[in-house]
């Protein structure tokens, strides 16, 4: 049988809406790299923005054509001559980029803020929406035997969600609002419930029926449909008129940052985990007078090993987390998968590779 030399991949050649399925050469690792066979890859919100041709992603146009995908698990199939500590046959999850290990942020255990390191998979260099991908051993984290490939593809958004809960300093028994019931919001809910959150309220819109149903299954005490009621008043009614101790803003809608602050109790915290396409207007005077804290959270590389160990030791939470995935598809069905993501007909869509 002839050696396989090409592979299927999802390419973005420019910011024209849509995505292309193409047959491209299988990449080859250099002496410091590894070749991975992708097992599962999740569609992220940034992938959807790229699919739609969002103008705010024009900064990445000079990296095109590029294979999308930065949330993926894989199997090592080949290692470069200088690579140690990783071997063919090993299952791994892949960080979007390799931290440099030398900058101030890496040396102070804040690798997600690294100012050096490798370029980002799926944005600056080819990513995981392909049968094979080349990366560096520093991006690869071993996947425990009892963690599935599909759950492995969730670890990147899981890291963001866990960081949001951690950075907000959520304490046992506190009230929490999660604004935006997408994958990050729902994974944050799972983490918060495991930490003993008290009253937990998840807010979405009438387009989020599936997501809000899943939020209730994951343990939300209340769900609020924001386009049918006054969401701020609803939160106050559910928190003895005070507002929530903490709000995670995961919608990515600029106007909802002020809404999150309005839902927050005096001396409460708003953690911003969503990426906005434009600036947000905030009444800072009201925020200051209420003693409220506004916290930005970004990435979750530091949390990955901890999350994997926790999921491996807690099968209940592993299964709950895997239920965030509502659709499993193949690259050939990519256009339909992206359209489901655009129309919120799924929660998390994961491509499966044979």
Give the pLDDT band of residue 2 (cuts 50, 70, 90).
Answer: low
Question: Could you tell me the sign of the dihedral formed by the alpha carbons of 161, 162, 164, 170, in that order?
Answer: positive
Report the CATH fold assignment for 161-296: Rossmann fold (3.40.50)
In the predicted model, what is the mean pLDDT of residues 30-59?
92
Q: What pLDDT score does 289 carry? A: 97
In the predicted model, what is the mean pLDDT of residues 139-146?
95
pLDDT digits (tens, 9 = 90+) for 79-98: 999 999 999 999 999 998 87
Q: What pTM was computed for the model?
A: 0.93
pLDDT digits (tens, 9 = 90+) for 208-241: 999 999 999 999 999 999 999 999 999 999 999 9
pLDDT digits (tens, 9 = 90+) for 248-274: 999 989 999 999 999 999 999 999 998
In the predicted model, what is the mean pLDDT of residues 48-64?
88
Listed residue (268, 244, 113) closest to 175, CA to CA: 244
The number of helices, as runs of H, and strands, as runs of E, in the chain is 12, 16
* CA 272 to the chain's CA centroid: 14
Torsion of CA 67, 330, 150, 164, to 10 degrees: 50
Q: Give the number of other CB atoms < 10 A from CB of residue 17.
A: 11
Give the pLDDT band of residue 99 (cuts 50, 70, 90).
Answer: confident
Q: Which two tokens stand for residue 268?
A: 């409460």
Structural domain spans, the chain: 6-154+324-352, 161-296
Q: What pLDDT score does 303 carry? A: 80
What mean pLDDT, rounded, does the chain reach? 93
In the predicted model, what is the mean pLDDT of residues 28-36?
96
- Are the CB atoms for 122 and 58 separated by under 8 Å? no
Q: What pLDDT score does 254 carry? A: 92
The domain over range 6-154+324-352 is classified in CATH as 3.90.600.10: no
Cα(first)–Cα(last) distance of the chain, in Å? Answer: 18
Distance of alpha carbon 82 from alpha carbon 98, whole angstroms: 17
Domains 6-154+324-352 and 161-296 share a fold: no
pLDDT digits (tens, 9 = 90+) for 278-320: 889 999 999 999 999 999 998 776 688 899 999 999 999 999 9
pLDDT above 60 for 39: yes
pLDDT digits (tens, 9 = 90+) for 320-343: 999 999 999 999 999 999 999 999
């Amino acid at each position: 049988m002839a050696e396989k030399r090409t592979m299927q991949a999802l390419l973005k050649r420019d910011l024209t809406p849509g995505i292309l399925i193409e047959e491209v050469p299988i990449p080859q690792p250099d002496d410091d790299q590894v070749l991975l066979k992708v097992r599962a890859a999740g569609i992220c919100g940034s992938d959807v923005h790229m699919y739609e041709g969002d103008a705010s992603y024009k900064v990445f146009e000079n990296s095109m054509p590029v294979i999308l995908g930065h949330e993926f698990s894989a199997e090592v199939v080949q290692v470069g001559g200088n690579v140690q500590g990783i071997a063919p046959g090993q299952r791994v999850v892949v960080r979007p980029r390799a931290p440099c290990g030398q900058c101030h942020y890496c040396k102070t255990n804040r690798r997600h803020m690294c100012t050096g390191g490798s370029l980002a998979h799926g944005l600056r260099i080819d990513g995981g929406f392909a049968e094979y991908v080349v990366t560096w051993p520093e991006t690869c984290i071993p996947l425990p035997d009892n963690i599935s490939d599909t759950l492995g593809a969730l670890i990147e958004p899981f890291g963001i969600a866990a960081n949001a809960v951690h950075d907000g300093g959520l304490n046992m028994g506190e009230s929490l609002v999660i604004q935006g019931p997408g994958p990050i919001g729902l994974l944050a809910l799972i983490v918060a419930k495991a930490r003993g959150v008290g009253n937990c309220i998840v807010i979405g819109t009438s387009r989020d029926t599936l997501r809000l149903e899943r939020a209730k299954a994951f343990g939300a005490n209340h769900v609020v449909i924001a386009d049918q009621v006054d969401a701020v008043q609803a939160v106050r009614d559910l928190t003895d008129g005070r507002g929530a101790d903490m709000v995670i803003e995961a919608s990515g809608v600029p106007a909802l940052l002020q809404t999150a602050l309005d839902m927050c109790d005096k001396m409460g915290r708003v953690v911003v985990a969503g990426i906005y396409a434009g600036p947000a207007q905030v009444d800072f005077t009201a925020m200051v007078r209420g003693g409220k804290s506004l916290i930005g959270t970004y990435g979750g590389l530091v949390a990955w090993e901890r999350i994997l160990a926790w999921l491996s030791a807690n099968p209940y939470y592993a299964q709950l987390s895997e239920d965030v995935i509502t659709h499993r598809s193949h690259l050939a069905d990519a256009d339909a998968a992206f359209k489901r993501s655009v129309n919120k007909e799924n929660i998390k869509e994961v491509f499966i590779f044979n």
